[in-house]
Structure 1
Amino acid sequence: MDNDSVATAYTTLDGEHVAELEIKRSRFITYLRRVESEPEARALISELRKKHFDARHHCSAFLLGPDRTAMRSNDDGEPSGTAGIPMLDALAKRETSAGRTDLSDVVAVVVRYFGGILLGAGGLVRAYSESVSSALDTAPLLRRQRLRILGINSDYAAVGRLENDLRAAGVRVLGTDYGPALATLRVGLNDEGSILTTFYDRLATLSAGASSAEDLGTEWVDAR
């Protein structure tokens, strides 16, 4: 994912989830899956067309990226604007932790088995929106964070104590690489300016100025 993204954290689905509603004898089966690319999202749609080959509609919506730079929806034969857009709205406007609307990297597919009763445009909008919203009510979610990865060089004699001190201070230690002359601790910090500044000050104190940190870039991790 793009390191220049404005977002430093967002919410996504923890795996996949299925839920079902019956509305005026029509069955609405909602599939949610965590995805990280448009081909992955479209793969679920294709998979469900084969699995539910006898269903009337396979409507879909997905949003991708920490800043939700990709958003797509499809009515799949339902009247224009009555399925895909309400589904996308349900995903995009979903409140997660602390009132955030930051759900992303999720595809929703609603498979509809027509029950013989026409719902009308308003009824369809409500049905598809409710199908996704109710599925999200019971879906497992998790936070993803963008970490700034730093490498800290230390001599072998001091690296164990430095690692223990960093862990005690709440720093996420990702591992230690041992070179011919020095050991390098890799740590991950929330990618925010104030946190980085505080860390550099703490490192200087813990190592008595003997260790410095090299910026190794960023990576996204699941915060469980």
Structure 2
Amino acid sequence: MPHLDQRLKVVAQQIRCVTHADIGSDHGHLLKALLASGRIQRGIAIENKRQPYENSRSTLTGFNADVRLADGLEGLDAGEADSLSICGMGGELIVRILDAHPDRVPATAIIQPNRRPERVREWALRTGYHLTHETTAQGHWRYIILRFERPKTTEQSGQVHPDPAYKGLDREAALLFGPHLLRHFSNDFAESLEQERRYLRSLPRLAADAVRRLEVIDRIL
């Protein structure tokens, strides 16, 4: 994927469909790479700030892409996109965007939260999306990339079905650190947990959330 950092390259690898919407498109580089590589046929870039909107318009000139100035999913019609991505925001903000217009969230969502990924995992459990893939990418820090799918059974019945990714796992640990990452438990994953444990133990005082994370890490390791 040309002109993408490692984080967005990993995001792009999770996307292949006809129409993809990127919420908070910034410079529009993700959609440009997806269109140029043939992974999508049409792109929709949505940005709520004027300068990033203009950046995306410039980047996507000549490509089959709409660039819209709008607040999150207000810029997308229900059923218009096959998948969406939201990258580089906190998990709480991402969930607010998704919850604002739940009928406009496509069946596939690729999410890269900068922090609090557990908030996005909790959103998926609440709304019936299944976490089908999660991986990491190195950059300024260790980024989490999450792929969610809405099962056809959920679409047909409107009922939320349990996500099999969490079956047999410590639910709190899986929400905080990822069910797929826990299940595969690579050396890199174990080292990242150990590094966080050393850091948290070095602090003179911990907030309640940090105490919780440390307790869970101790259980895992």
Q: TM-score, normalised by structure 1?
A: 0.27
Whose relative contact order is higher, 1 or 2, with alpha carbons under 8 Å and at least 6 apart?
Answer: 1
Larger radius of gyration: 1
More helix by share: 2
More strand by share: 1
Q: TM-score, normalised by structure 2?
A: 0.28
